Amino acid sequence: MERARILFGFRHLGFGFDSGFGFRVSDLLTVVRLQKFLADAGVASRRASEEIILAGQVSVNGETVRQLGAKVDPLHDKVTVDGQPLRARRKMYVALNKPAGVVCSRKDEFSRSSIYDLLPKEWQHLHSVGRLDYNSEGLIFLTNDGEFSLRLTHPRYGVRKKYLATVEGRLEAEVLRKFIQGISYMGERLKAEKARLLSASHSKSVVELELAEGKYHEVRRLFESQARTVERLQRIQIGKIKLGELPASKWRTLTEPEIKSLLS
């Protein structure tokens, strides 16, 4: 019993060394913060999980834990919430070709179709990594890995996203140069890392754009700043992962190399 308490103390503090108690340096690779473990298990968001911990509802190996810095080993420690044992869910990474006319939220006040209607029922706990608006289509990821979502959506990581935009009328090269230089529109700085004209006629133009930040409706607002309307917007690539031949409304799981490429 005493040995178990000492072991938990080491894991709780996040320390690891060959102590003679069987706790090895390699154990450091498995320990995670308690609030992250709760979030991965689907209990609540990480912030809400912190409140659950502070309320004394969480026990690790039979001992109540109220410290937010606590760490656990998902492979060995027994975690309970209000007496109910928890297991971390297997992490999942799904690529979906979102069609136009579908929302990314679970519930919609207008009862419109959702991307969750396209997934198996047992995957309803997944959340979308960023969003595509109702009229936009293309590549979107879904996962239950919060760190994965953060790495792909936070501006500091600069994960590139590539889009195809079909706009009305013939577009001049000068407009694309403005996009790359960056423009101020309605009090916000908007910018494309790359912009390439694929085709142009009197009725429409097709442009490929690459963005690093992905601000709210950024592609549509770039064209709006030039008095141009986007008739179709499709996201075709995130990081190194391309939409490819994935049919509209269909999904596939990401491979291990693809996941690593997105996190590298």
Positions marked active-site: 133
Q: Which residue has the tokens 């936009």?
A: 136
Pairing relation of β-strands 137-143 and 230-238? parallel
Burial class of residue 236, CB neighbours in 10 A (0-12, 13-18, 19+): middle
Q: Where are the alpha helices (DSSP H) in 59-145?
A: none
Instruction: At 36, list the tokens.
Output: 């992250």
Alpha carbon distance 249, 120 (integer Å): 12
Backbone angles phi, psi at 177, to 5 degrees: -65, -35
Cα–Cα–Cα angle for 110, 112, 113, nearest 5°?
160
Sign of CA dihedral 8, 35, 93, 154: negative
CA-closest candidate to residue 91, choices 256, 261, 238: 256
Number of neighbours of residue 105 by Cβ within 10 angstroms: 13
Q: Is 136 left (phi over 0), alpha (psi -120 to 50) or beta?
A: beta
